Structure 1
Amino acid sequence: MLILALNGLLPQANSQKNERADTFLEETDATKASDIIDREFSTNKGIPALLTWYKASSLSDNDLASIQGLTKKLTDQPIKGTFVPPFHDIPLPVLKNQVSKDGTTLVLPIVFDKNLETAEISARLGELKKTAKSIFPKDPFRTSLKDEENLVVRVTGPAGVAVDATELFSQGDLSLLIGTVMIVLLFLLIIYRSPILALIPLVGVGMAYMLISPILGVLGKEGVIDYDAQAISIMTVLLFGAGTDYCLFLIAQFRKNLREEEDKFIAIRRAFSLSSGAIFMSGLTVVVSLLVLLVANYGSVHRFAIPFSLAILIMMAASLSLIPALLSILGRTSFYPFVPRTEEMTVKWAAKKGKVVKAPKDKANLGEYVGKVVSYKPWRVAAITLIILGVFALFSTKMETTYDTLSSFPKDMPSREGFDLLSKKFNPGELAPVSVIVKGSGSEANLKEKLENLPFVAEVSNPVKGEKDSSIVKYELALNMNPYSNEAMAHIPELKKDVQSFIKQSGGDDRDVWIGGMTAEQYDTKQTTKADSSLVIPLIIGLIAILLLLYLRSIIATVYLIGTVLLSYFSALGLGWIILHYGFGVEAIQGFIPLYAFVFIVALGEDYNIFMISSIWRKSKEMPLKRAIKEGVSETGGVITSAGIILAATFTVLTTLPIQVLVHFGTITAIGILLDTFIVRPFLVPALTSIFGQWAFWPSKKRMDGVRILKEKEVIRN
């Protein structure tokens, strides 16, 4: 009832997304330049969109006249918050001079108010498209670039890129939710072959989602936190994947207990007692790791912290409350038609059905075989797994990164098609010029000449003085390359250094130099992401180490558990790069993906280590360590493998979206989880535990050796 009330009274998370939240939480050079431009240069206030008009057979006079007719109609009937240049007042011969050299392309710049949200810009573009539809014989916004007879237009520039990015993520929300639910349901049905049991985790996750959404909605509405469509998309996947895992840890123990205990309530209490500590510790590890993202300066990373950690916290609570309650109510019916029974119950059931119960045959158990191998041949297993993971990890050094937003778009997205046209027909640097702002140089003409002589600059505008402070001067530079490329980004520090040198020689203060524009912002993104990584990664490792140390009370185990997960992370980056680059021709991945992937692979991977090592630790109190390892691997193998497959599958759902950022992130994270599931957890970790032997517990009190255990049990029996 509470959840229904919250959903009825509070706004949903999707309704409070902020797609224009600050890129950086702390001021950078590019944001300082942007603030100065807003304050001193009023003509630059606004978000530009570039309407790129194209006709393969060249623009005719009638085409240009129609474009002029559009600008006239938009001037006579203006769209609120939109400035359209009066192309209709430009004589046709003069307008022709603005057409590309091959006569096929013309750019019409439009400026939207700076305070408009992306959704509002999209709405105004929709109005503009309706107006165009009434003027042109065929809708130019929908006409294919392959159409050689009709006029085509594509919206690009900062406004076009922002609108396309928002629409991409918004379109993926529903399909991602449906895809994630279906993949989880499918794997649960395959693994447990019970329709009732398959629905239990989904009910838990669904209830958690219904609680999370209004909480995030009200936090977003009140301005307590910001989040965007990308954060909500990944949160959905994380919630279903990790939430299902926590449920499976309890379900597996419950099913095992039902084969030994007739009373379902005793079985669930025992299952809860044995699994709740590992579930709580696993969830706490992920929550703490995600909260560390609050220290990040890059807005997109920082905004992940609260939604993701809240999702895991609520799902963990549901796994320890709602799921046990459902299992208690349904009992053995949860597993229908493959109902687990005690031996005595099975005999009674068979007698009632008139069937003969055959003595169960000992079946070869893969988990037991793996446990035996890692227990008795640990050095060989550790060497082989370390070599495999090490080779993959080496390829992570070859990974190329980019901060080019357009490269993550599908090739048929309007803003990318428009940019491609501009790149071919004009200088691509005109799409996103670089702003150079100086104060008190006193020799504007000389600085302009110096800027024009730079080898990577195609054109420099005349200097413009500030409206409030005339000592502030701005230049617009059009680079002679793609302004979103790594090559262009690499020139930003060089450009600033050259300008500072000139200012210093002119007697000015070289600190009064600011570089703005999209290229400069991308450079700041790269530097900020690097700084965030150097802060976030050690903090996460340190906090996980503290939690493991408190839980296991072993320094040795804490060190090698963290070490194995770090190795699987770098191996995932390397194998992911092999698949994406050599398999699918990806030239570079988005620069912040390694940090994203680290948080999820390390935190979620440690979950499986905790669950398995808990079993080994518990059993080592009652039996020799090698046997404890063997039985611990065997006992947890099935559930962890199932959980890992489901979690990896949910992240793989991201690869079905037409958003390259999520495709790359989903691929690398899924690979990391699979490496943890099939190599690190069943082989490397237990092999290392076997190699360290009793030292694995150091500095805790050593477990009893096998001979002593057997002797004490014999004494107790006698």
Structure 2
Amino acid sequence: MTTSETDPQHRAGEPRRRGLLRGVLVGLALLVWLAFGAFGGMAQGTLSQVQENDAAAFLPESAESTRAAELAREFTESETLPALVVVTSDDGGALTEEQIGAGQAFAEEIGALELPDGSEVSSVLEGSVVAVPSEDGEALLIPVPIDAAQADVLLGDDEERVTVAVVEAIRDQAPDTLTDAGLTAWVTGPAGFVADLVSAFGGIDGILLAVALVVVLVILVIVYRSPLLPFAVILTSVFALCLAALVVKPLAGNGVLQLNGQSQGILSILVIGAATDYALLLVARYREELARHRHPAAAMRVAWRASLEPIAASAGTVIAGLLCLMLSDLGSNASLGPVAAIGIVASFLAALTLLPAILLVAGRRSRGIFWPRVPRFVEAGHQADDAKLGLWERVANGVTRHPRRVWVITALGLVALAAFVPTLRAEGTGEADVFRGEVEAVVGEEVLSEHFDVGQVEPIQVVVAEGSADAVVAAAEGVDGVASAAVYTGESAGGPPSDEPQEPVVVDGHVLVQVVTEVSAESQEATGIAQDVRDAVHGVDADALVGGAAAERLDTQLTARQDLVTIIPVVLLVIFVMLVLLLRAVLAPLLLLVANVLSFGATMGLAALVFNHVLDLPGADATVPLYGFVFLVALGIDYSIFLMTRVREESVQHGTREGVRRGLAVTGGVITSAGLVLAATFSALAVIPLLFLLQIAFIVAAGVLIDTFIVRSLLVPGLVHDVGRPVWWPWARRVPHDERRNAAQAAPAGTAKS
């Protein structure tokens, strides 16, 4: 042994050098995350600028409506997205000559309205704007044809932004021009719906995040009973979201990913929920270790290593499940997978780098962040036995005392709820049903349908060979719900006939048949008519292509249903493999997977009851079951992972049945808190006034609570305890044989060496 090794000054210098290195690492981590926060915060605030909310843009190229749209563009000189201004008298009666004149004057003013960039509305219009009286004389219709191609040239390839600007300009000007004449105007049609949809998503950057963070903060204050620690966890979530936005925005802006309002909202909630869950697990283990280690850094080192595996397994499982969405043929689903996966990676990194740095920034005084409930160091062998059992220790004792009775009764209850799944109406909804509450586009469409033939606005488009035109027209006119069908001659569908016969427009031997429906193309009824038209014309010409707005919605719903069949088995297989690698067993992962699938079924059954009989909703989007499955199975399995990794740790020392009891008792509090946080954050999606997000909020929140309080607390521990040591098959030899239950329960839970 050298002199330097025995020198007291040398021995004293080692801790100082380690402390200096630790301080440098903590400071470096904080500086890096501050940079992420600075640049990522700006990216998060402008993330909505790279959204794409056009449903047609997400359809695969192979979809029939997509192929029809490509060919249909060749029949017209330009592609327009009409805003429909419907004007009625305030007294609901027939319009006077003065009121008709005021409406026509307003139509002439629209082209001169100013856009945000200083240009006039006329610069993005195709043709003139005129007012058309209704046959009953009680309304005026002012079609405003927005030229998408011209908008791209003048305003930088942002059709959606231009559409919103035009609609807002008209809505702002209408009261000033029409009120004195006793008239009221509504802006509806395709452009009106786009504007209201963008407006609904506008709350994502502000209201949604504010509500989610406040709810999480309140829960954390209750859980930790500390004024300081909750802010450390909240900061971790916020900086994780900034990092995710910093990565997602350039990818979406350059077309690598497609980001819509739904994906952005889900990304925000998922990051906040996941980062908080990971933080809760790390902080809980850190608090345990503070009682065993004098220096907070030593406690964090042990807690970090012990938490790394379950947090990494949880994040990896969720990421793998989300990436399975890339198998979807819908661009909105396929892009959500990588977008949400980026969010989970950011949450994982923040929880394991930023949070430890925040918790250790005060050095030896770092325990103070738990104030006023500061954990005290207790010398080995001097831990006091607390005669009073905690809540989760009592639950663990109750479950393991009658495990079979517990898991059988629990499973039967979940099966009873799952029996209502067939009653869930998830065939799809119309555009008017997408919004919760009253919006101008929906009200305007109702007024429009009272006075005009709304099916003329966006007719079903059928591209067929010229020789089949007459037979296709006849077949389409024979479909219930079709008002008329005619070959396109250069005039609008349903428009006034020309004085002279017009020849059909022929392109490469094909003609365009426009089928006018009796209902609006934005309705779900039109979607069903599009399917009937498609069946009818295919019977005449198998090569005919049916497109249009209603057909695009039909293809979206059909693709979403096919995604369920394709993606669900892959998600189950991927998660099963991840669990096998984590738990080093086959039977235990199989039991966990079955339990979580049963939990998903029970959640969807409960959703069917609530949606149909409590909230009386018009139905559900066809993608709701897929999103619900991916989020619930991927996220719900997290709580079983947190439980079973601790059960395995305890089982190696004490046997499986005692390991179940100890694992449930020790993890019950933190996992329950994590479940409450995740349920609360997803519930925040309900503040966005859209049907889809309300349904996802309910399904995920209810499912997480079922997973937390029923599946993880009763079903899984009861089942694993009942099976015993064979649950670790085929590597059960690593786990000792279970002792007799009475002897196993003699030792207090939570005393296993960590």
CA distance in 2, matches of 1:559, 1:257: 32
- Paired position in structure 1 for 2:296: 264
CA distance in 2, matches of 1:571, 1:526: 24
Q: Secondary structure at the match of 1:586?
A: coil
Q: Does the Cα contact within 8 Å between 1:257 and 1:271 map onto a contact in 2? A: yes
**Per-residue deviation, 1:163:** 1.3
CA distance in 2, matches of 1:616, 1:39: 65
The answer to whether residue 414 in structure 2 is matched with residue 389 in structure 1 is yes
Q: Secondary structure at the match of 1:26?
A: coil
- Paired position in structure 1 for 2:516: 478
Distance 1:566 1:125, change over 3 A: same
Q: Does the Cα contact within 8 Å between 2:599 and 2:707 map onto a contact in 1? A: yes
Q: Secondary structure at the match of 2:647?
A: helix
TM-score, normalising length from structure 1? 0.88
Counterparts of 1:50-199 in structure 2, within 5 Å, are: 50-55=84-89, 56-74=92-110, 79-83=122-126, 85-87=128-130, 95=132, 98-101=133-136, 103-115=137-149, 116=151, 117-129=159-171, 131-132=173-174, 135-138=177-180, 150-199=182-231
Q: Secondary structure at the match of 2:83?
A: strand
Q: Does the Cα contact within 8 Å between 2:328 and 2:563 map onto a contact in 1? A: yes
Pick one of 17, 30, 43 that aligns with 2:65: 30
Pick one of 663, 669, 673 that aligns with 2:700: 669
Q: Secondary structure at the match of 2:259?
A: coil
Counterparts of 1:214-363 in structure 2, within 5 Å, are: 214-330=246-362, 331-343=366-378, 362-363=387-388
Q: Which deviates more, 240-249 or 118-127?
A: 118-127
Q: Does the Cα contact within 8 Å between 2:639 and 2:712 map onto a contact in 1? A: yes
Distance 1:382 1:361, change over 3 A: closer
Pick one of 537, 552, 569 that aligns with 1:521: 552
Q: Does the Cα contact within 8 Å between 2:171 and 2:187 map onto a contact in 1? A: no
TM-score, normalising length from structure 2? 0.84
CA distance in 1, matches of 2:105, 2:296: 78
Which residue identity lines up with residue 563 of structure 1 in the other structure? V
**Per-residue deviation, 1:65:** 0.9
Pick one of 627, 644, 647 that aligns with 1:613: 644
Pick one of 567, 572, 576 that aligns with 1:541: 572
Aligned Cα RMSD in Å? 2.6
Per-residue CA deviation, residues 393-435 of structure 1 (Å, 9 max, x unaligned), is 1111100122322202134211111111223334443343211
Q: Which deviates more, 45-54 or 11-20?
A: 11-20
Distance 1:374 1:453, change over 3 A: same
Counterparts of 1:387-426 in structure 2, within 5 Å, are: 387-401=412-426, 402-426=428-452
**Per-residue deviation, 1:328:** 2.7
**Per-residue deviation, 1:447:** 3.9
Pick one of 643, 649, 652 that aligns with 2:680: 649
**Per-residue deviation, 1:365:** 2.0
**Per-residue deviation, 1:85:** 4.1
CA distance in 2, matches of 1:134, 1:273: 67
Distance 1:201 1:261, change over 3 A: same
The answer to whether residue 537 in structure 2 is matched with residue 493 in structure 1 is no
Q: Secondary structure at the match of 2:228?
A: helix
Pick one of 233, 245, 256 that aligns with 1:213: 245
Q: Secondary structure at the match of 1:658?
A: coil
CA distance in 1, matches of 2:368, 2:314: 28
Which residue identity lines up with residue 316 of structure 1 in the other structure? F
Distance 1:678 1:100, change over 3 A: farther
Q: Does the Cα contact within 8 Å between 1:404 and 1:590 map onto a contact in 2? A: no
User: Percent of counterpart pairs with the same letter?
Assistant: 28
Q: Does the Cα contact within 8 Å between 1:403 and 1:484 map onto a contact in 2? A: no
- Paired position in structure 2 for 1:559: 590
CA distance in 1, matches of 2:349, 2:481: 56
Q: Does the Cα contact within 8 Å between 2:527 and 2:554 map onto a contact in 1? A: yes
Q: Does the Cα contact within 8 Å between 2:399 and 2:406 map onto a contact in 1? A: yes
- Paired position in structure 2 for 1:440: 466
Pick one of 48, 59, 75 that aligns with 1:14: 48
**Per-residue deviation, 1:480:** 2.4
CA distance in 2, matches of 1:619, 1:361: 20
Q: Does the Cα contact within 8 Å between 2:174 and 2:185 map onto a contact in 1? A: no
Q: Does the Cα contact within 8 Å between 2:58 and 2:330 map onto a contact in 1? A: yes
**Per-residue deviation, 1:536:** 1.6
Q: Secondary structure at the match of 1:42?
A: coil
CA distance in 1, matches of 2:32, 2:297: 27
Q: Does the Cα contact within 8 Å between 2:424 and 2:607 map onto a contact in 1? A: no
CA distance in 1, matches of 2:94, 2:402: 73
Q: Does the Cα contact within 8 Å between 2:433 and 2:618 map onto a contact in 1? A: no
**Per-residue deviation, 1:220:** 2.4
**Per-residue deviation, 1:485:** 4.2
- Paired position in structure 1 for 2:492: none
Q: Does the Cα contact within 8 Å between 1:376 and 1:626 map onto a contact in 2? A: no
**Per-residue deviation, 1:100:** 4.6
- Paired position in structure 2 for 1:430: 456
CA distance in 1, matches of 2:540, 2:75: 23
CA distance in 1, matches of 2:258, 2:469: 44
Q: Does the Cα contact within 8 Å between 2:274 and 2:678 map onto a contact in 1? A: yes
Distance 1:562 1:360, change over 3 A: closer
- Paired position in structure 2 for 1:469: 507
**Per-residue deviation, 1:335:** 0.7
Q: Does the Cα contact within 8 Å between 2:107 and 2:142 map onto a contact in 1? A: no
The answer to whether residue 611 in structure 2 is matched with residue 580 in structure 1 is yes
Structure 2: any 5+ residue segments left out of the alignment?
Answer: 1-30, 113-119, 152-158, 490-502, 745-754
Q: Does the Cα contact within 8 Å between 2:240 and 2:347 map onto a contact in 1? A: yes
CA distance in 2, matches of 1:120, 1:290: 33
Which residue identity lines up with residue 472 of structure 1 in the other structure? H
Q: Which deviates more, 377-386 or 432-441?
A: 432-441
Structure 1: any 5+ residue segments left out of the alignment?
Answer: 89-94, 139-148, 348-357, 504-509, 712-718
CA distance in 2, matches of 1:104, 1:683: 64
Which residue identity lines up with residue 205 of structure 1 in the other structure? S
